[in-house]
């Protein structure tokens, strides 16, 4: 049996210290490239979803197959041969998880904290999120199940969370988007990354290393938590935002006109996508990249 999915095309992703964007024909990555996580293979073909992890990147090709590149020290890029067609992918610290079209969740890579030990009672799943050492699956029932490292309570889904429409995993915290637009965060909260402002009407949420960003129904973005690198200082003058992604210490947003803006830590050039424009009508790529920060040139790339 196959589930019916509403597929949302993911146009950008923020890994720990790198950023990738997508159009109909190509993936472009910028930032830390110490493990070749920005070396996009030339034979990928058309892509419709991508995920950035700690030191690796994964993409779902248009044929529904998965390809990963970058660090593979824990087998996080060793895609199982038996995978079926895929509808969701998440890249964690040292592991990767996918959801197949039949609703089954499969994880591979490091299982040191049980982050790849998919519970046998997990129901049909529509999307998955991966943190440093934990995994959360959004089931077709609208409930979320998390497993793996739980030292900070990042797997303790609150009782009475209600119907959930999206889940995102940060370093050691997790955030849920309820059907009514409310955001719930739990887990590591030393920097206030789980202290959600009470007046938000959210349409999307992104959990980063120690911060969280929420896209509101009015197109505005609010970030909270660690701001030591400016990752929560949303630039003034942004247009209406349609998507948000959070890395370890940086944040990227996609504006309605297709322009990308990134802010926060740029020590590896992970904010070098700022100024890139996607044609949101035709999905064509307008090539006017801002050069990458070359502070650490041996581990920095923009391709």
98/180 Cα distance (integer angstroms): 26
Tokens of 7: 């597929």
User: What mean pLDDT value characterizes the chain?
Assistant: 89
From residue 231, how far is each of 27, 31, 65, 208, 252 by CA, in Å? Answer: 24, 15, 33, 9, 9
The total of other beta-carbon atoms located within 10 Å of residue 193's CB is 28
The residue that leads in pLDDT, 25 or 59, is 59
What per-residue confidence (pLDDT) applies to 62?
87
The DSSP symbol for 122 reads: -
Q: CB under 8 Å to 130, separation ≥6 — which residues?
A: 51, 53, 90, 91, 92, 93, 95, 96, 97, 107, 115, 136, 169
Domain 12-302: which topology?
Answer: Methylamine Dehydrogenase; Chain H (2.130.10)
Q: Band of the pLDDT at 278, cuts 50, 70, 90? A: low
Most distant CA atoms of the chain, gap in Å: 51
Backbone angles phi, psi at 299, to 5 degrees: -120, 25
User: What count of Cα atoms within 13 Å lies in the side-chain half-sphere of residue 187?
Assistant: 34
200/29 Cα distance (integer angstroms): 31
Annotated domain spans of the chain: 12-302
Reported as a single tens digit per residue, the pLDDT across 216-258 is 999 999 999 999 999 999 999 999 999 999 999 999 999 999 8
What per-residue confidence (pLDDT) applies to 291?
30
- Closest to 221 in 3D by CA, of 229, 212, 210, 230: 212
What per-residue confidence (pLDDT) applies to 288?
30
Which residues are registered as beta bridge partners of 302?
A: 30
What dihedral angle (degrees, nearest 10) is formed by the CA atoms of 128, 145, 85, 11?
A: -20
Helix (H, G, I), strand (E, B) or coil at 297: helix
Reported as a single tens digit per residue, the pLDDT across 68-126 is 999 999 999 999 999 999 999 999 999 999 999 999 999 999 999 999 999 999 999 99
């Amino acid at each position: 049996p196959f589930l019916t999915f509403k597929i949302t095309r993911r146009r950008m992703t923020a890994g720990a210290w790198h950023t990738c964007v997508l159009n109909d024909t190509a993936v472009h990555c910028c930032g830390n490239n110490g493990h070749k996580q920005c070396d996009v293979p030339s034979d990928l073909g058309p892509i419709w979803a991508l995920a950035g992890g700690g030191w690796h990147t994964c993409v779902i090709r248009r044929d529904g197959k998965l390809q990963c590149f970058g660090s593979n020290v824990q087998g996080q890029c060793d895609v199982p041969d038996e995978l079926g067609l895929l509808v969701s992918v998440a890249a964690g610290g040292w592991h990767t998880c996918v959801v197949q079209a039949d609703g089954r969740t499969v994880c591979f890579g490091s299982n040191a904290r049980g982050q790849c030990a998919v519970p046998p009672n997990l129901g049909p799943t529509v999307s998955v999120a991966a943190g440093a050492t934990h995994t959360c699956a959004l089931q077709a029932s609208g409930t979320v199940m998390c497993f793996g490292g739980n030292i900070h309570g990042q797997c303790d889904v609150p009782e009475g969370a209600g119907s959930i429409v999206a889940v995102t995993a940060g370093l050691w915290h997790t955030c849920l988007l309820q059907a009514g637009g409310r955001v719930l965060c739990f887990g590591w909260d030393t920097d206030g990354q789980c202290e959600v402002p009470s007046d938000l009407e959210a349409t999307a949420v992104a959990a980063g290393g120690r911060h969280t960003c929420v896209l509101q129904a009015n197109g505005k973005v609010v970030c909270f938590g660690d701001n030591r690198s400016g990752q929560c200082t949303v630039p003034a003058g942004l247009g209406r935002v349609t998507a948000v992604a959070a890395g370890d210490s940086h944040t990227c947003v996609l504006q309605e006109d297709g322009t990308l803006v990134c802010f926060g830590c740029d020590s590896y050039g992970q904010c070098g996508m700022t100024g890139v424009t996607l044609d949101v009508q035709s999905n064509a790529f307008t090539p006017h990249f801002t050069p990458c920060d070359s502070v650490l040139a041996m581990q920095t790339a923009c391709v």
